[in-house]
Structure 1
């Protein structure tokens, strides 16, 4: 075997021609330190260009649970998804502010021989995989939405099948405790095929307050709750925001000051705008707009709604028309003006998410099992596909992780 020679150049050291190569340890350490700094710099640079996110799915098909991918912030490409944790029907996710814990609902009807869904707490490992900490009953069948309450001391859950809103206190190390309160809804509304009883569909916080808004599709109301320091839900006065009968409210968004509430109605394919007083909970209806083109004649249900981080644009997803409706937001009145419909480039856009930097929007198409990337025009909020997408089985939730 032929021997190989390597030329080693170290700044500040020049060996004498023909002399044995003897390097002082200080030069070795200096070289290694320089190499390490360069490597760490490259790693940090790569991390700054990448925004990781988790994907909740339905596991009735090929999915195994929660997946992890990342968005390249420079070219808008996506990393191939990898399995972060196995879990049955993790249809909605919530990540804490420190990005070291993730919480997921398990949208099932039976958990530990109870008529309830599941809620799971995970620790986020350094490589992005998830370590299960514990699980608790959700307080009702078919939980479909979760978020963290004031000061991230409580997990708030909406149980669609059971028609209830639940609060589960969290321990200091991120684990779930048994439910502190289960607010069982009652009543019905005009559409007896879908509104024969309550169907809790989402929970949201009013910024700067301890008020939680619970959206109920079955009774056409947005419930108003006070979240106590002990993690309990208490009915507020007034107790709810009334929605036009038959609308079927699903999700909502608030502006940063909490004085505007945008309610997305699944059944009517409309969005309602309310003036809201965060100190009293009183509301006033300002506007109702369709999320569909005037000439659309097919079947459609809406799914997700988000305000852009700058508060200037509102986005709503249409399942059936398979599009995102884009609206501009008047910064004084809060009222909406239609801008465009953007194709979801897939079937049944159940969910989408805006990247924290506000330049990209990712759409999760549940029935075509793909996630598509759009560039957000920073002047008018319009969407343009950048051509990148990934295949994920039955995606229904996207949540970005802050590093």
Structure 2
């Protein structure tokens, strides 16, 4: 089945990336390759995208300084994006946003500012008032990367409905209770402290009992297990093979629908780490480390049919496609498509 894929990119050269795309891109995925991408919306550095549950609205960060933007789009049945407006992200360099799965709310976070904002959404998908704003304070133990708060990812706890904030700069994962009207209240007793590991991205298992967290600064991945109304860290293991050397910065983590397989992208090694996940034991075991064939794999997604994996290779301007067998936990290269500075991959 052919599916639409929206691609977040960088459009300008920044200290960490040579961006040269033209905005949000759109392509069709046929199971092997992507079609020639087209510009769906001209946005400055739309490095992260989120799609509403019904696919009728799309949201993009504009990763800029000294203040970033959150941009809302209506998506028509033919895939056309029409801008509905934008709002300040509440700080520099917004890095992530997420649409609440069942409430008309959007949560956005800034890497440069260490802030979290909640926006109400109107019926047409446009941004309404900002209902909550949180400024993280403090720093972490690694001065070169943790000089202040750096919110890197947001998600919604599938059991409690809390907003989960991964802050690389503080070295913490924080849970915030979210009210129906979009207010946030920190639950300090459930904060998970990772320190110099540098937590970057978290994925919830479909069982609701586990989450897997990838750490950027020490190339590790952790298993978090729900214990009552909080999570505890029960395992930490490397994302790299025994022969790996040199600098490496993991980026993305995803879990197969069955919960059998966990995948992590490694920038530097330019690989995908494949783990077997034992839910009963709450443990990961490294099965394989697969070369991506491109440089700096950022986002890593399992296609909706469950048998393909796509990796956005930011620094080599391509999206790599793999056949994925969840039963045997294997990845087989199928091809690569030229895409300028791809960062985020979002199926619609």
- Normalising by the smaller structure, the TM-score range is over 0.9
For 2:246 and 2:240, the matched residues in 1 are separated by 10
Partner Cα distance (1:68, 1:320) in 2: 27
In the alignment, structure 1 residue 81 sits paired with structure 2 residue 37: yes
Counterpart of 2:134 (choices 183, 204, 207) is 183
Q: Distance in 2 between matches of 1:276 and 1:108?
A: 36
Question: Of 237, 255, 264, which residue of structure 2 is paired with 1:316?
Answer: 264
How far apart, CA to CA, are the structure 2 residues paired with 1:202 and 1:208? 18
More helix by share: 1
- The question of whether the paired residues in 2 share the 8 Å contact of 1:210 and 1:228 is answered with no
The separation in 1 between residues aligned to 2:85 and 2:258, in whole angstroms, is 36
Q: Output the CA distance in 2 between the equivalents of 1:384 and 1:105.
A: 32
| Equivalence for 1:70 | 28
- Deviation of residue 181 (structure 1)? 1.3
Q: Which runs of 5+ in 1 are unaligned?
A: 1-48, 111-115
Over 3 Å counting, the alpha-carbon distance change for 1:326 and 1:273 in structure 2 is: same
TM-score, scaled relative to structure 1: 0.82
Structure-2-length-normalised TM-score: 0.95
Residue 51 in 1 paired to residue 3 in 2? yes
Superposed CA offset, 1:242-294 (max 9, x none): 11x211100001112322121110011101111124x62x2222110100122
- The one of 374, 384, 389 equivalent to 2:336 is 389
Decide whether the 8 Å contact of 2:146 with 2:170 is kept in 1. yes
CA distance, structure 1, for counterparts of residue 28 and residue 159 of structure 2? 30
Segments of 4+ moved more than 4 angstroms: none
5 Å matches for 1:12-31?
none
1:129 aligned residue: 80
Task: Measure how far apart 1:180 and its partner are.
Answer: 1.4
Identify the residue that residue 49 of structure 2 maps to in structure 1: 93
Q: 2-side partners of 1:313 and 1:213: how far apart?
A: 22
Corresponding residue for residue 104 of structure 1: 60
> Residue 261 of structure 1: which of 211, 220, 225 is its match?
211
Deviation at 1:237, TM superposition (A): 4.6
Match of 1:23 in 2: none
1:361 corresponds to which of 297, 309, 319: 309
Give the aligned CA root-mean-square deviation in angstroms. 1.3
Q: Is 1:246 equivalent to 2:196 in the alignment?
A: yes
Residues 294-332 of structure 1, C-alpha deviation per residue, up to 9 Å, x if partnerless?
232210111111111221100011000000101011132
C-alpha separation in 2, matches of 1:296 and 1:351: 21
Partner of 2:15: none
Q: 1:227 aligns with which of 174, 178, 199?
A: 178
Query: How much has 1:359 moved relative to structure 2?
Result: 0.5
Cα distance in 1 between the residues matched to 2:159 and 2:233: 22
User: Number of residues paired by the alignment?
Assistant: 342
Distance 1:97 1:389 in 2: 28
Instruction: Extract unaligned runs of 5+ from structure 2.
Output: 13-18
- Whichever of the two has the greater Rg, that structure is 1
Structure with the bigger percentage of strand = 2
